[in-house]
A and B are shown apart, each in its own frame.
Chain A
Amino acid sequence: AQTVTQSQPEMSVQEAETVTLSCTYDTSENNYYLFWYKQPPSRQMILVIRQEAYKQQNATENRFSVNFQKAAKSFSLKISDSQLGDTAMYFCAFNTGANNLFFGTGTRLTVIP
């Protein structure tokens, strides 16, 4: 069974600080892809960053980076220099090359001014 676990239902961070959101997953597949999606109050699902499991190098997109630990099946998201616009729900997700995504239950992040 494919499962995704986000153990932090809510987190908060001071503006300009750094925060890390945790995600673990379980799959028997060797080749898969990992994603972080952001859902602001507008409800739109926005892709933040993705990681291919066959790549050892951690993905980075501007202030967003991941710590991918394949053996531990861990995929955390680090947000540097947090901004008020980062306030949102963050979902970890993965697929195995097919199109269907398996989602975690989300972490609600609040950036405090």
Chain B
Amino acid sequence: NAGVTQTPKFQVLKTGQSMTLQCAQDMNHEYMSWYRQDPGMGLRLIHYSVGAGITDQGEVPNGYNVSRSTTEDFPLRLLSAAPSQTSVYFCASSYSSASGANVLTFGAGSRLTVL
């Protein structure tokens, strides 16, 4: 059981380049999300999906695009990278526990540097 798999783990881009961060989960979770982590700011939600074909914006969606064609995959696209998008990105999926709490399982993170 691999859990949540993110690729690549590290990436360096030049300003204006585009790229896709991949995320896959094998737990059959309906909900998936992307967060970014910046120093001193905790994790902030970029986009999320409650199921295949359904996506929505989080707190900081500008400059990012997502799609959810399958339950397993939730890629994050940077359309035209900017230095402000230098960050660590986390993908997560979640299930509902018996108590009703939605427990997120995180990937290992992807460190992106935009020069």
> Which of the four size classes fits the interface of chain A?
20 to 34
> Do most interface residues of chain B lie in helix, strand or loop, or is the interface mixed?
strand
**Which chain A residue lies CB-closest to B93?**
A99
Most buried by B among A4, A55, A103: A103
- With known contacts A45-B106, A105-B40, A99–B31 Cβ distance under 8 A: yes
Closest residue of chain A to B31, judged by CB? A99
Q: Verify if A64 is at the interface (C-beta below 8 Å from B).
A: no
B42 lies within 8 A of A100 (CB): no
B2 within 8 Å of A (CB atoms): no
Q: How far is the CA of A52 from the CA of B105 in the complex (A)?
A: 18
B42:A104 contact, CB within 8 angstroms: yes
**What residue in chain A is nearest B42 (Cβ atoms)?**
A103
Q: Inside 8 A of A101's CB, which chain B residues have their CB?
A: 43, 45, 104
Contact check, B43 vs A99: say whether CB atoms are below 8 A apart.
Answer: no
| A99 with B102: CB separation less than 8 A | yes
* Least Cβ–Cβ distance between A35 and chain B, in angstroms: 8
B101 and A50 contacting across the interface, CB-CB below 8 Å: yes
Chain A contacts with B in 36-87, Cβ cutoff 8 A? 42-45, 47, 50, 52, 55
List of A residues within 8 angstroms of B105 by Cβ: 47
Most buried by A among B31, B43, B45, B48: B43
Q: Given contacts A43-B109, A99-B48, A99-B50, are A50 and B103 in contact (CB under 8 A)?
A: yes
Closest Cβ of chain B to A95, distance in Å, is: 6
A25 at the interface (CB under 8 A from B): no
How would residues 76 to 91 of chain B score, 1 for a CB under 8 Å from any chain A CB and 0 otherwise? 0000000000001010
Measured CB to CB, the residues of A under 8 A from B are 4, 9, 33, 35, 42-45, 47, 50, 52, 55, 91, 93, 95, 97-101, 103-106
Q: Which 8 A-B residue pairings sit nearest by Cβ, starting from the closest?
A: A103-B42, A45-B106, A33-B101, A99-B31, A103-B43, A43-B109, A105-B42, A99-B102
